[in-house]
């Protein structure tokens, strides 16, 4: 079982690290869209697509960067007690609390899957704005990001279990 856990951690960490390192530059895409929005509103006719496209870019940036943030330990913790605990106690607490994250991600995936299927079933669900883009691309990106977050949460659980068993697993990826 330990071998399986180590291989799973290695594969999932590699995928999320590589994707996260690429997606982190998505902030510049959003900034470019918002810059064009400012220029077009000032000097030309305002573009209808810029605000919603910036929102889509931000969703992709946030959702696809989530697994990388989990992997790097960038999540917020209440350090009042946690910082003073031993590594073993931290691993126990993390192993127990990760189930709340896994439950949340499963519920999000379930609802997201229904919403994505709905988007495809009815001739392509469209946004109610003046631009009226199809919503299935961003919903598919959200499903991929949530799936990767769930896989990373399971990898973090495995890391905690291995730490409890005495293996030396670093807190964040190398």
Q: What is the pLDDT along the chain (174 residues), one digit of tens a residue?
A: 888 999 999 999 999 999 999 999 999 999 999 999 899 888 888 788 888 899 999 999 999 999 999 998 887 777 788 878 888 898 899 899 999 999 999 999 999 999 999 988 887 888 888 888 898 999 999 999 999 999 999 999 999 999 999 887 765 543
Alpha helices by DSSP H, listed for 26-132, are 26-43, 50-72, 79-82, 87-121
- From CA 154, how far away is CA 5, in angstroms rounded? 10
In a domain, 173, yes or no: no
- What pLDDT score was predicted for residue 170? 63
In a domain, 169, yes or no: no
Q: Whole domain around residue 87: which residue ranges?
A: 2-164
- Inter-CA distances, 28 with 32, 65, 137, 163, Å: 6, 14, 20, 38
DSSP state of 147: H
Total domains in the chain come to 1
- From CA 12, how far away is CA 8, in angstroms rounded? 6
In a domain, 9, yes or no: yes
In a domain, 105, yes or no: yes
**Has this prediction a pTM greater than 0.85?**
yes
In a domain, 127, yes or no: yes
């Amino acid at each position: 079982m330990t071998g399986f856990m180590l291989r799973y951690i290695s594969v999932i960490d590699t995928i999320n690290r590589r994707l996260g390192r690429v997606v982190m530059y998505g902030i510049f895409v959003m900034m470019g869209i918002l810059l064009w929005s400012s220029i077009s509103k000032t000097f030309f006719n305002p573009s209808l697509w810029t605000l919603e496209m910036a929102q889509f870019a931000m969703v992709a940036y946030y959702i696809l960067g989530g697994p990388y943030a989990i992997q790097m330990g960038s999540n917020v913790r209440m350090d009042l007690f946690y910082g003073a605990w031993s590594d073993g106690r931290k691993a126990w607490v993390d192993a127990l609390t990760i189930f709340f994250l896994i439950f949340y991600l499963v519920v999000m995936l379930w609802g997201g899957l229904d919403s994505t299927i709905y988007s495809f079933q009815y001739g392509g669900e469209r946004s109610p704005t003046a631009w009226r883009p199809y919503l299935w691309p961003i919903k598919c990106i959200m499903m991929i990001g949530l799936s990767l977050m769930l896989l990373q949460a399971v990898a973090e659980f495995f890391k905690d279990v291995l730490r409890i068993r005495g293996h030396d697993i670093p807190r964040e990826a190398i």
